[in-house]
Amino acid sequence: MTTKNKPKSQTEVTQTILDFLGDYKINEPDDVILLIKRVKDFLVFRDYNEKTKKHADSIQWKRTVTEILNDGYVYNGKACSDLVLIFITLCKAAGLEAQLLKLACVDGKKTHSIAEFKFDNEWYRIDPSFTEPKPYKGYLGDDQLWNKNWDGGWRVWKRGDDLWSMGLDGIENESDIANE
């Protein structure tokens, strides 16, 4: 895809998204768990290794949700952003406000993505990459740490509609966390 034809948003609700969502309704916060399971059951999780690294890194943070669903795959260990993008786009298609949180490990060496969504005027956060994702009530403040038991915790690095709105259009941007 050339830059000239690049969509403005990774999370544009297209017919592909609406078709994937179908008649699924989110009637309570825990309903998003089944939605995440549906996404994970649909996608193929390819191995991330020396043979696949070059391709995986070349598409990391560059695909739209429609492209991810049409491709039908993500890479194990590198899928957190793709899963969050799909999740927040499906939430938007279902009528919920949702956003991506790009987190930085407290050591400043790596990033992770989680989602926040709003249900009945309450914010919830969830990590769609977890084996057993669970929504937690509450907005994650910039001064709070998330998941302190994993590598010492994670702080909010950026938040927004998608990676592109945050100025992240490739995995090489991950090195920017050390400079901020």
pLDDT digits (tens, 9 = 90+) for 52-69: 999 999 999 999 999 999
Residue 4 has pLDDT above 70, yes or no: no
Domains along the chain with CATH numbers: 3-179 (3.10.620)
Residue 7 has pLDDT above 90, yes or no: no
Residue 3 has pLDDT above 70, yes or no: no
Residue 2 has pLDDT above 50, yes or no: no
Task: Find the mean pLDDT for residues 156-178.
Answer: 86
Task: Find the mean pLDDT for residues 105-118.
Answer: 94
Task: Find the mean pLDDT for residues 98-108.
Answer: 94
Percent of the chain with pLDDT over 90: 85
Q: Which residues pair with 45 in a beta bridge?
A: 74
Q: What is the mean pLDDT of the chain?
A: 93
